[in-house]
Amino acid sequence: MKTIWLVDDDEEMIHAVEMMIKLLDFEVRHFFSARPAAQTLLNGERPDLFVLDINMPGVSGIDFLEFLRLRKEFKNIPVVMLSTEASDVMVDQVMALGADAYVTKPVALEELEEAMKKAFKAHGEN
């Protein structure tokens, strides 16, 4: 079973999205900030896909996305960005930085499923 890592600083959002990911038949692991997710990656664990919140204190989802895309060992992990911000400028920015899909909060199950499929497909996976 594929594992999704969810990185978001909002506890309520984590619980909601985590439930959706489980309903889609994936394992899920959550992190309340990017730093522990990055440390876990650097320690040798890795997910099959990331769902990253953009606006987090400290290291933002955009910063974390850049970290992933600049390191050859992580650049092929699919990434879905998640944000309350729905501006075209923000969507274009994160897609240019290497995100595979973008969904806005509050997210519906079908939207999340489509975004995850799009992200997996972008990396040659089903």
Please give the chain's pLDDT, 126 residues, in tens: 999 999 999 999 999 999 999 999 999 999 999 999 999 999 999 999 999 999 999 999 999 999 999 999 999 999 999 999 889 999 999 999 999 999 999 999 999 999 999 999 999 987
- DSSP letters, 56-111, are -SSS-HHHHHHHHHHSTTTTTS-EEEEES---HHHHHHHHHTT-SEEEESSPPHHH
The residue segments making up the domain with residue 54 are 3-122
Tell me how many domains the chain contains.
Answer: 1
pTM for this predicted structure: 0.96
- What is the enclosing helix (H) or strand (E) of 7? strand 3-7
Q: What is the CATH number of the domain that holds 64?
A: 3.40.50.2300
